[in-house]
Amino acid sequence: MSTPTASRGSYEFRVLTLPRTASRGDVRQLLTDEAEYGRWELARSRLYIGGTRKIWLRRKVLRVTSTL
């Protein structure tokens, strides 16, 4: 269903591929959960001819500097 995350610049990206059988409500609930609990935001979405959806999510990479 999803592929591993990739880091590019100051954002981390995650690509979800959803089958055509996934309803709009299911997709909306999935994206809401990812945004609320995983701090992901929608970067891009695509609907292909066969009904497959590909969704790109992104979130900021927090770089922690040592204070010691």
The model's pTM: 0.75
Q: One digit per residue, pLDDT tens: the chain, 68 residues?
A: 555 555 445 999 999 999 999 999 999 999 999 999 999 999 999 999 999 999 999 999 887 888 88
Distance from C-alpha of 62 to C-alpha of 24, rounded to nearest angstrom: 32
pLDDT of residue 7: 47
pLDDT of residue 2: 53
pLDDT of residue 4: 56
pLDDT of residue 18: 95
CA angle 49, 51, 55 (to 5 degrees): 100
